[in-house]
């Protein structure tokens, strides 16, 4: 199984530790992982702003970099959603269709494709609030959303439960959006910040020492809010916990 590692632009630039943890984790699980050096971005930001034609260049480059893999795996729910559901700015060739069909968010990949049973190297003896990004929750459906009447399930929880020492706390609004929303965070800053403040206060109030998520974009926004508020709470990507980070 040839796996291409997709490291979104903002992770490459600001949170490389998340990319490193993802790579190391997949290697620990015995996979041959390749990181195409000329990747940049999936095009999500431009497309979400309505400028689909401005996304075309990035989308074409994405397909060019990743057309040769069985699986494309990345530590980002929102980017995965864009590739699978909205990579529409370019002609839909067989190569594009293949890339779209085989792109997975990390939790999906670990849970559904690899069906990982254990993370023996992992231990995280902390109180943790799980933040399911709206992309992973409502679009990739990696867990039950509170609005829908269906049996409870959670892929990230299934994985995290295999980590020694981890303890979960639940905020009062577990799946309300945290307010990042891409360029929403800039163009609707007042509401975005208020949503972020409410989110981190909620987790903090529930006793969380860490907020963990599969989406660094949410974490980046929440961390920015928490730091400005002076809240004592830390932020970590699920890849880092599963890869064995202790803190």
Contact set for another protein, span 189-218 (CB under 8 A): 189-197
Residue window 139-178: x/- pattern of binding to another protein, with contact defined by CB under 8 A: x-----xxxxxx----------------------x-xxx-
Please list the alpha-helical segments (H only) found in the chain. 9-14, 16-28, 44-48, 52-66, 77-86, 94-101, 106-108, 134, 155-160, 184-187, 189-205, 216-229, 238-242
Number of amino acids touching another protein (CB under 8 A):
76
Applying CB under 8 A, among 90, 180, 213, 233 the residue interacting with another protein is 180
138 binds another protein per the rule CB under 8 A:
yes
Applying CB under 8 A, among 99, 110, 130, 225 the residue interacting with another protein is 225
179 binds another protein per the rule CB under 8 A:
yes
Site for another protein in 7-36 (CB under 8 A): 7, 9, 11-17, 19-20, 23, 34-36
Q: How far apart, in whole angstroms, are the C-alpha atoms of residue 159 and residue 75? A: 14
Which of 5, 17, 76, 2 is closest to 43 using CA atoms?
A: 76
Cα 242-164-107 angle, rounded to 5 deg:
30
The region of 114-122, 123-131, 183-191, 201-209 touching another protein under the rule CB under 8 A is: 183-191
Which of 179, 184, 172, 171 is closest to 212 using CA atoms?
A: 171
- Of 127 and 144, the one with the shorter C-beta distance to another protein is 144
């Amino acid at each position: 199984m040839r796996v291409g590692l997709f490291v979104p632009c903002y992770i490459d630039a600001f949170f490389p530790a998340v990319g490193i943890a993802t790579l190391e984790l997949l290697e620990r699980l015995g996979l041959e992982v390749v990181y195409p050096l000329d990747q940049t971005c999936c095009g999500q930001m431009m497309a979400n702003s309505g400028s689909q034609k401005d996304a075309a260049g990035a989308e074409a480059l994405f397909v060019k970099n990743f057309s040769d893999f069985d699986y494309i795996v990345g530590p980002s729910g929102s980017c995965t959603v864009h590739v699978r559901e909205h990579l529409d700015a370019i002609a839909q060739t067989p190569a594009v269709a293949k890339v779209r069909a085989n792109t997975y968010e990390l939790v999906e990949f670990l849970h559904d494709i690899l069906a990982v049973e254990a993370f023996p190297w992992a231990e995280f003896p902390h109180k943790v609030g799980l933040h399911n990004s709206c992309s992973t929750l409502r679009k990739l459906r990696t867990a039950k959303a509170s609005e829908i009447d269906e049996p409870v399930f959670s892929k990230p929880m299934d994985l995290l439960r295999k980590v020694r020492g981890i303890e979960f706390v639940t905020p009062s609004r577990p799946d309300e959006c945290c307010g990042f929303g891409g360029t929403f965070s800039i163009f609707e800053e007042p509401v975005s910040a208020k949503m972020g403040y409410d989110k981190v206060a909620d987790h903090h109030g529930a006793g969380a020492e860490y907020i963990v998520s599969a989406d660094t974009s949410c974490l980046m926004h929440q961390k920015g809010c928490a730091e400005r508020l002076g809240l004592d709470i830390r932020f970590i990507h699920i890849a880092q916990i599963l890869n064995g980070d202790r803190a």
